[in-house]
Amino acid sequence: MTRLISSAAAALAVLTASCAPVDGMGGPEDRADSRLERQCFTPQNVRNFRQGGPGKLYVRANSNDVFELNTAGGCTDLDFAQRLAITADGPGLAGGRVCTGDWARITLPGSTSPVSTCRARIDRVLTDDEVAALPSAQRP
């Protein structure tokens, strides 16, 4: 019985230690560049969007961050879109936040059908210099 308790205590100690921060593993001092972390936005808070090059979409969220989304094809009406809806791609996630690395669904009023839907991956947040370097037609 004592052996079983000591084994359980050792396993608990290992599990607890595996959750502890380690130097270089995400402590506050490692967060100097927040652009490297997973950045998120709520689709309802998107203020503006513009199509970039082929397969690219730039959205500006209320946080004033500009996110780059890469579409997976099928967004044929994106270049003429005046409005769109972004929803998280996954069961039970509709209306939820989307983060860099996530997939989302882009829904557009279609020109050939009432609604057109495609998928896009939220790739990254652009730096202020990258946003300034975008051509004005692509800057949200």
Q: Is 99 within a domain?
A: yes
Residue 121 counted as domain residue: yes
- pTM of this prediction exceeds 0.75: no
Residue with tokens 């998107």: 46
Number of domains the chain is built from: 1
Average pLDDT score, the chain: 76
Instruction: Decide: helix, strand or coil at residue 116.
Output: strand
Residues of the domain holding 86: 38-138
Q: Please say whether the beta carbons of 121 and 98 come within 8 A.
A: no
- Count of CB atoms within 10 A of residue 89's CB? 17
Question: Would you say 140 and 69 are in contact if contact means Cβ atoms under 8 Å apart?
Answer: no
Confidence of residue 126 (pLDDT cuts 50, 70, 90): very high
Residue 76 lies in a domain: yes
**Residue-wise pLDDT tens digits, 7-38:** 444 444 444 444 444 454 444 444 345 455 78
**Residue 17 lies inside a defined structural domain of this protein:** no
Region of residue 80 (phi > 0: left; psi between -120 and 50: alpha; otherwise: beta): alpha
Residue 31 lies in a domain: no
Distance of CA 134 to the CA centre of its chain: 20
pLDDT value at position 27? Answer: 43
The pLDDT tens digits of the residues spanning 65-100 come to: 999 999 877 787 787 788 899 998 876 555 588 999
User: Does 120 fall in a domain?
Assistant: yes
Tell me the C-alpha distance between 43 and 55, whole Å: 19
Res 95: pLDDT: 56
Q: Is residue 26 part of a domain?
A: no
Residues forming a β-bridge with 27: none
